[in-house]
Amino acid sequence: MPHPLMFDDDPYLVRLRRLALVLPDAEEQIAHGRPGFRAGKYFAWYGGSTKGTAATRTRYDQALLVLPDETDRPALTEDPRFFTPAYLAPSGWIGLDLTAAGTVPPDAVDWQEIAELLDASYRRVAGVRRVARLDAGGGTRSG
């Protein structure tokens, strides 16, 4: 039995998809009910939650989950928009609530920041050849 879809094509996902899919060999794949972006391995997920029981977990349906550069991790964990995602956190992943608790509409998101997070996460998993292609193409850009 397939997992039920836990997302729709909201404006946050549309913008995120545009940024993620310009990376070399990036593709979108739905797994566990959520869209993920991969280039061989996953470098980003859309949507997530914190760990806990149904009563204690917090869902972030408009969130970006990435593998940040380790040098950026301390600053990111201090930012209240970021959270520790269930299941993926032990492997180094971090989540960013794109809506900032419902106060930020899609047009007010810093999409350059999102492009940079995607870029860093992509570089951690994509392999040398893909990263070289990314660098030859000028890197990522905001959408």
pLDDT above 70: percentage of residues in the chain: 96
Report the predicted TM-score, pTM, of the whole model to 2 decimal places: 0.91
Could you give the CA distance from residue 93 to residue 130 in angstroms, rounded to a whole number?
Answer: 21
Cα(65)–Cα(82) distance, integer angstroms? 9
The residues facing 64 across adjacent strands are 46, 96
d(CA 115, CA 16): 8
Mean pLDDT of 59-68: 96
| Structure tokens, 143 | 């959408």
If pLDDT is split at 50, 70 and 90, which confidence band does 1 have? low
* Cα–Cα distance measured from residue 9 to residue 23, given in angstroms and rounded to the nearest whole number: 20
- Token pair belonging to 136: 């030859």
pLDDT at 142 over 70: no
Mean pLDDT over each residue of the chain, to the nearest integer: 92
Distance separating alpha carbons of residues 67 and 43, to the nearest angstrom: 7
